[in-house]
Structure 1
Amino acid sequence: MSTRTVSNRNDPVIESRDQLIAPMIKGEKPASAWKIGTEHEKFVFDEADHHAPSYDEPGGIRDLLLALTEFGWKPIEENGKVIAMAGADGTVSLEPAGQLELSGDILDNLHQTCAETGRHLQQVKAIGERTGKSFLGLGLWPDKTRAELPIMPKGRYEIMLRHMPRVGTMGLDMMLRTCTIQVNLDYASEADMAQKFRVGLALQPLATALFANSPFLEGKPNGYLSYRSHIWSDTDPQRTGMLPFVFEDGFGYDRYVDYMLDVPMYFVFRDGKYIDAAGQSFRDFMKGELPALPGELPLASDWVDHLSTAFPEVRLKSFLEMRGADGGPWNRICALPALWVGLLYDQTALDAAWDLVKHWSMEEREALRNAVPKLGLKAPVPGGQVLLDVAKEALEIARGGLAARGRLNESGDNETGFLWPLDEIVARGETPAERLLRLYDTEWRGNLSRIYEESF
């Protein structure tokens, strides 16, 4: 989640609807300037007893963050507490229960993305070896109750933790017990954004299935392959889901603004503090009638903050975020941007990907999204096939898109090699979660502590 440290009181006041559309228009770039931004989260655990470290304990989350200074990272504070580290590779920040997230730099190609990921993991592993900490690449804590997890000292999390139980049964699980991989991608125009948004939403269940990696809850199988994806089904219905309006004729920036104006607020950031505005209306804010700040009008930065508080399967800000994947190990961190760059950054591939899904009705899209958390690649798709069949076609389209980009490393390799973990999953017809369940039933003999050997 976003890390805010400065109140931008010098920002322009929002006085017109054009200012709400402006961040999206500002995001338009020619294809030659399209970049890749990858975000990935991981669980931190103590090697001695597998507990989730608190913020303040010796060798805990704060100390882990501060140890990154030896690699050139600089601390970011909120109310005197270190909540993130800034460096050449982006920002390392805290999720609500101490999950560590790297929000990577904006990069030109997947070779750079995977190198960035490798540097980050080498750094945190080096720190972990000295402090007895290690890292787990999963979509869900496999054995922790909510009560066993610490809370990190970030103001926005305090507000969200209070608000989540009012609007859904699993919002606290989303905050405290999950990890994800995301990729942020550019668009050239409103029409390009709309096509990418539609393909991204329709195929987001495919990413969920390929990266499904959360089959355990509180020490036993939970009946799902991606329980993390299931959690989103009852987190907050006003800010999650498949966004049917994206597939309607005429969809564009203006319609997304309408959606975001209907999404209730969480907070306003002023003078280094988060002011609780949970459940209040940005429309009222624009009229100077926000109960949390009566008489004040929103600033441009308030709208940018608000855009970060909706959690649909694909999210629009000044770029598009692909949000459907569970957390995973190093090679799958590189594979997620490879999948989406291959599908969305070459027009021939994008058109072919749309051809795969354009005939699906909204009801069929919703049914697929609802089936995937349990069934993974075995989920039925329109036409009598299963998602595994779509996966084979989608990977070939992505491979062609990456080859067409022609982004080579020093050895002359293009970016298609980053798809190989997904090729293996499809060849076996077995999601990462199904592999873990197989190990649990056989080699591990029901001893889930063995999963900690699956760490990065």
Structure 2
Amino acid sequence: MPVRPAESEAELEAHLHGICFKTGPPRRIGVEIEWLVHDARNPRCPVEPDRLRHAAGALRALPLTSLLTFEPGGQLELSSLPATSLTECIETVTADLALVRPAMLAMGLGMAGHGHNPWHPPRRVLTDPRYNAMEAYFDRWGSAGRAMMCATASVQVCVDAGHEEPGLFGLGRRWRLAHLLGAVLTAAFANSPTSEGCPTGYRTTRQVVWSQLDPGRTLAPPQEPDPRTAWARYVLDAPVMCIRSEDGPWDAPEGLTFREWVRTGVPRPPTREDLDYHVTTLFPPVRPRGHLELRMIDAQSGDAGWVVPLAVTAALFDDAEATERAYRIVKPLADTAGSRPAPRNPLWRRAARGALTDPELHTAAVACFAAAQEALPRLGASPEVRAAVAEFTDRYVARGRCPADDHLDALYAAEGALLLGKDSQ
């Protein structure tokens, strides 16, 4: 006889409905920034796990406002608190980085903004039960899981879900905007064209890695009129990655969905806390966590490279005129995307491979960045932030380029110089 679950399927579905989209006027903004950690003198020299553990202990003693964590491959992440303005968010994270970077350098460590590690193969340094179970789970799908866990880094922008009612800032429209604009952001900020020193054929290798993982937890949910119902169904039908245990491995039976776990109560009845934890193991390109978490942007180079994607995204979501223009700009991209979910549909694949060399994505990016630039003064952005967005627009977007193109140019130039040197001998 089946064991009765701790909570019923209907109760857990209602719980998801209540927590996934917290609606109201868009007022808050947040950012989560990851960096690849490397030896400050020689980035191509892998950092030993003991050095990373020492660094983690030292950094956690700093008086930071943001949450500091390390990812499985040793990537450093700063997660801001929800801010009431773009300016507050930028100033808070900038102040934290002013403490973190010197502390890292004092330990002989640097922080690099690349979407995918350009130097080293994936190597896991954290051995928590969660990551042991995650690695075993993703190994069923090939090598992409280890690359995602240990060799990728991103800038994740968090925006409010929007109003309950339909309209300019309505939840349904912002949900749709995020999935179409996401391809434009992927292309504009593509910054991971190499792996282990070699071009991969993509401007954002990180996005390709994500597209090769378990589709039940990394593809976008169906784009339906009611995002809450679609998300709740997606969560319950996703395979369980791990079942937490006090005294053993966290492995889950292969193929077990959360819905099946609730219905059977095997290997033990799940709880609401298990469901909340299960949600943290789902990685679609836009993840509802009360707010909308946009997860598609590669980590950016430079001390303040993260500011530009944060500012552009905030402007296009939270300024009334800019969000109206952005929605009109990206709405036609739905025809290119087709019925397949991101990031496996044609639109997102073109963003990953060609970035802004794709004419349709280039046209959309030029128009979206123009709308964002006009909106930033209305959001109270500082002259420095506006100048950074303008410089990025002129250097990349207007020219149909992205940061990945700089890396490829440097790589090909170095190869050409090497060949020229050999020919002259």
- Structure 1 residues without counterparts, runs of 5 or longer: 1-11, 73-86, 382-386, 448-456
Tell me whether 1:317 sits opposite 2:308 in the alignment.
Answer: no
**1:111 maps to amino acid:** T
Superposed, 1:8-407 pairs within 5 Å as 13=7, 16=11, 17-25=13-21, 27-31=22-26, 34-49=27-42, 50-55=44-49, 57=50, 60-72=51-63, 87-89=64-66, 91-146=67-122, 149-190=123-164, 191=166, 192-243=170-221, 245-246=222-223, 248=224, 250-269=225-244, 275-277=250-252, 279-291=255-267, 293=268, 296-299=269-272, 301-329=273-301, 330-361=303-334, 363-364=336-337, 366-381=345-360, 387-405=361-379, 407=380
**Counterpart Cα distance in 2 of 1:88 and 1:13:** 36
The answer to whether the Cα contact below 8 Å between 2:357 and 2:401 also exists between their aligned partners in 1 is no
Task: Tell me the distance in 1 between the aligned counterparts of 2:241 and 2:226.
Answer: 26
Distance in 2 separating the partners of 1:236 and 1:362: 25
Residues 401 and 305 of structure 1: CA distance in aligned 2, closer, same or farther (over 3 Å): farther
Query: Higher strand fraction: Structure 1 or Structure 2?
Result: 1
Matched, 1:441 2:412: yes
For structure 2, which runs of at least 5 residues remain unmatched after alignment? 1-5, 339-344, 419-425
Using the alignment, how far apart are the partners of 2:208 and 2:116 within structure 1? Answer: 11
* SS class of match (2:114): coil
Scaled by the length of structure 2, the TM-score of the pair is 0.85
Aligned residue identity for 1:96: P
**Count of equivalent residues:** 397
For 1:272 and 1:401, the matched residues in 2 are separated by 53
After superposition, the Cα gap between the structure-2 partners of 1:361 and 1:211, relative to the gap in structure 1 and judged at 3 Å, is closer
Checking the alignment, whether the CA contact within 8 Å between 1:335 and 1:421 is kept in structure 2 is: no
Judge which range, 256-265 or 273-282, deviates more.
273-282
**What displacement does 1:168 show?**
4.4
Distance 1:446 1:218 in 2: 20
User: Which 10-residue stretch deviates more, 354-363 or 222-231?
Assistant: 354-363
Q: Which amino acid in the other structure matches residue 275 of structure 2?
A: W
Residues 1:368 and 1:131: Cα distance change in structure 2 (over 3 Å):
same
Deviation at residue 433 of structure 1 after TM alignment: 0.7
For residue 352 of structure 1, give the secondary structure of its aligned residue in structure 2: helix
| Superposition deviation, residue 271 in structure 1 | 5.1
CA gap 1:115/1:446 in 2 versus in 1, 3 angstroms:
farther
Between the aligned partners of 1:154 and 1:445, the Cα distance in structure 2 is 44
1:78 counterpart residue number: none
The Cα of 1:327 is off from its aligned counterpart by 0.8
Amino acid at match of 2:29: I
Identify which range, 356-365 or 332-341, moves more after superposition: 356-365
